[in-house]
Amino acid sequence: MQFISWNIDSINAAVAHTSARGEMTWQVLNDIAKQAPAVLAIQETKAKVTGLTKKQETALTSLFPGYHRFINVSTGRPGYSGTMMLSQVEPLAVTYPTIGAPGEMDLEGRIITLEFEDFYVSTVYTPNSGSQLARLTDRQAWDDAYRAYIQTLDAKKPVIFSGDFNVAHQPIDLKNPKTNHHSAGFTNEEREKFTLLLDAGFIDTFRTLNPDATDVYTWWAQLSKTSKINNSGWRIDYYLASERLKPQLRQFKVLDTGLRQDHAPIMVDFDL
């Protein structure tokens, strides 16, 4: 069973594709549709409070006919954050949980969870600690609350969960660890919280299959014109899973996005 996850950085930019970057984003979305994943998870939709526009709905229905679609929008800050999931099979239940996170984090549409007969599939868009690490304290509180939430799911049935976790866990997960030690996404605090998440009974599917692989990234800064060309990236997008699913893990892949910078989609296969 194949799953794909992607921080799209604006569903509207993809559907409208009125710029060169928008065209590339639209092409990636089309490429994903051709893969026909069992579940597609999307982060940072930046959808309106009212949800998808008619044009966006029409485009997604055309690309993913027959899929069940679920969207969680930000009500705290309009046109910000947001998540979406598309599933070939109708889930038993769908939840848009709040986890007791600080500030407006619970209002930013950051989590969707689908329940199936034998497992959960969830996606998350983890808050960024921000410039000058202004949100780092709140981010740590989020990490604790999110870990507790995922553990409640895992206590019932196995969980496969993906998203932009906004952290490069180990030095081999980014090109320049020495110069980014105090940057958002590579602070000791964020990395330690991610370790605690894994230690709570979950696996990083990529590292499980590729324990020593280097130069594999999922995000390249848009502000640097050469970040993708030089492969100066970060691995901050993950498929995690309950440890007891490890024997059924078959494959992990970062999907090719050509010259498009920002996030790349990730794909995982389980024998479920």
**166 assigned binding-site residue:** yes
Q: Per the structure block, which two tokens stand in for 30?
A: 């089309």
pLDDT higher at 131 or 16: 16
Q: What is the 3-state secondary structure (H, E, C) of 128-145?
A: CCCHHHCCHHHHHHHHHH
**164 assigned binding-site residue:** yes
Q: Whole-angstrom Cα distance, residue 263 to residue 253?
A: 14
**Residues in CB range of 252: below 8 A, 6 or more apart:** 205, 206, 209, 210, 239, 266, 267, 268, 269
Q: What is the pTM of this model?
A: 0.97
**Residues in CB range of 202: below 8 A, 6 or more apart:** 150, 154, 159, 240, 241, 242, 243
DSSP 80-145: S--EEEEESSPPSEEE------STTGGGS--EEEEE-SS-EEEEEEPPP--GGGTTHHHHHHHHHH
| SS3 of residue 66 by DSSP | coil
CB atoms within 10 A of CB 228: 21
Residue ranges making up the domain that contains 185: 2-270
Compute the average pLDDT of residues 71-91: 96
| SS3 of residue 39 by DSSP | strand
Q: Are 256 and 214 in contact (CB under 8 A)?
A: no
What CATH number does the domain containing 227 carry?
3.60.10.10
Q: Whole-angstrom Cα distance, residue 148 to residue 37?
A: 28
Q: Are 210 and 216 in contact (CB under 8 A)?
A: yes
Q: What angle do CA 21, 219, 257 make, to 5 degrees?
A: 50
> What pLDDT is stored for residue 242 in this prediction?
98
Compute the average pLDDT of residues 208-235: 96
Q: Residue type for 143, please?
A: D
In which residue are the tokens 């008619």 written? Answer: 54
Q: pLDDT tens digits, residue range 41-76?
A: 999 999 999 999 999 999 999 999 999 999 999 999
**180 assigned binding-site residue:** no
CB atoms within 10 A of CB 66: 8
pLDDT for residue 256 is more than 90: yes
Among 168-177, 192-201, 221-230, 263-272, the range scoring the smallest mean pLDDT is 221-230
Which residues are the active-site residues?
Answer: 125, 164, 263
**192 assigned binding-site residue:** no
**57 assigned binding-site residue:** no
> What pLDDT is stored for residue 131 in this prediction?
86
* Number of domains comprising the chain: 1
Compute the average pLDDT of residues 219-245: 96
**44 assigned binding-site residue:** yes
Q: Are 147 and 202 in contact (CB under 8 A)?
A: no
